[in-house]
Amino acid sequence: FGLERYFARWEFAVRHLLCASDVEAWRLDDLLALADDETARLWNDLRLGYTESTGHPVLRAEIATLYESVGPEDVLVFAGAEDAIFCLSNVLLGPGDHAVVTWPGYQSLYEVGRAAGADVTLHELREADG
C-alpha cells in the first residue's frame, strides 16, 4: 500500500505529523488516571482474549448514545479503518455500481470497490482548491 510506505518514511521523522489518522500516544498510567470508577473496574478486570466480533457491548452501547435512533445492536466496531472500508465496500458495491472516493487516501477505498466490480472514480483533493 502506497500510504503505508509514505507513513513508514515520514511518521517518526518529523516533529508534527498532520496527516495521521491516529492520536498521539499516551502513557497508560496517564490515561487510567482519567477513568471513572466503572471504567477503572472494567480495566482491572480485563481479560486479554476474544470478545464479540461486533465489538464490546459497553463500547457499542456508548457509541449508540451519540445517535437518536440507533441502538447498540445497530453498531459495529472495527479494529481500524481498513476493516470497516472492506466490509462497507463489499456490502454496498458490486457490478454496475459507481463510487466516488477521495484521493489520496487508503488504497482500499478504491481497490476493494473495484474488486467488487464497481466503477470507481478518484476525487483528487488539492490544497489549492481549499
In a domain? residue 66 = yes
Domain limits at 107?
80-130
In a domain? residue 6 = no
Residue type, 50: Y
Residues 53 and 66 in one domain: yes
In a domain? residue 38 = yes
In a domain? residue 15 = no
Q: Among 9-23, 41-55, 102-116, which is the least confidently predicted range? A: 9-23
In a domain? residue 46 = yes
In a domain? residue 30 = yes
Question: Residue 123 half-sphere exposure, CB side, CA atoms within 13 Å?
Answer: 7
49-89 pLDDT, tens digit per residue, is 888 888 889 999 999 999 999 999 999 999 888 899 999 99
Cell numbers placing 5: 510506505
